[in-house]
Amino acid sequence: MDFDDFKNARWNWHDTRLISLPGEINKNWVLFPEKIHGKFALLHSFYPNILIDYIDDLSQLGYGNCIKSNNQRPINPQRGWDSWFRGVGPSPIKTEYGWLVIYHAMDHRNPDRYRVGALLLDLNDPTIELCRTQHPILEPEAPYENGGIKWGVVYCCGAVVKDDTLFVYYGGSDTYVCVATAPLAQFLEQLRGGKEIKMYIH
């Protein structure tokens, strides 16, 4: 969409198109911001994993043309706080070290609490996971993250880098829109070094 159209609320809506196979529950579809090896790349959650698929032409999707997943799994659950994946929020962010992916997940032993984590995928082959946070970067601790429509839930909705700062926009309790920040260089250093990541809540 052209920025001027967005700014002036000139929407060009199309019919709804189903892009997953009937009977499959795929959620949290996100596009990579650029093609990879000439194809559109998408991440989507299909319990219990997050999958990646490649598409030649997005305009051909729908009206019976569905994504038949090849079940490549760049993100598998691990034993710990993210043993049950829910999905990716924002589109991956390209960095010098790999694709930065922000996702939300939960511990299968404590399924009522969503937490947010981060990982890096290889730039040329995003099915290769390079590193992942061992601890959540965000978790429901504040009253507004525990007292809304769905208490104990934080999930990422968007992320941008501005002036070398990573802004992570997330939902709290299905009620509030929140933002947390971190210097991008520090964030990536902590992520790659396996250290606990410090986010600043605003």
Q: Return the percent helix, strand and coil in the chain, to nearest 5.
A: 10, 45, 45
Size of the chain, expressed as the number of residues it contains: 202
Are the C-beta atoms of residues 105 and 117 closer than 8 Å to each other?
yes
Is residue 127 situated within a structural domain?
yes
In a domain? residue 9: no
- 111 falls within a domain: yes
- For 24-63, how does the pLDDT look when each residue is reduced to its tens digit (9 = 90+)? 777 888 999 999 999 999 998 877 778 888 889 888 777 6
- Residue 60: give its domain's CATH number: 2.115.10.20
99 has a pLDDT exceeding 60:
yes
List 63's β-bridge partners, or say none.
none
Give the containing element (helix H, strand E) for 171: strand 165-172
Average pLDDT, the chain: 88
Kindly state whether residue 1 falls inside one of the protein's structural domains: no
Q: What is the pLDDT of residues 150-175, one digit of tens each?
A: 888 999 989 999 999 999 999 999 89
Angle at the Cα of 114 from the Cα atoms of 77 and 161, rounded to 5 degrees: 85
Amino acid 77: pLDDT? 67
Parent domain of 44: 17-201
Contact 156, 133 (CB under 8 A): no
Q: Is 60 helix (H, G, I), strand (E, B) or coil?
A: helix
The enclosing H or E element of 110 equals strand 110-121
How many structural domains does the chain have? 1
Q: Kindly state whether residue 5 falls inside one of the protein's structural domains.
A: no
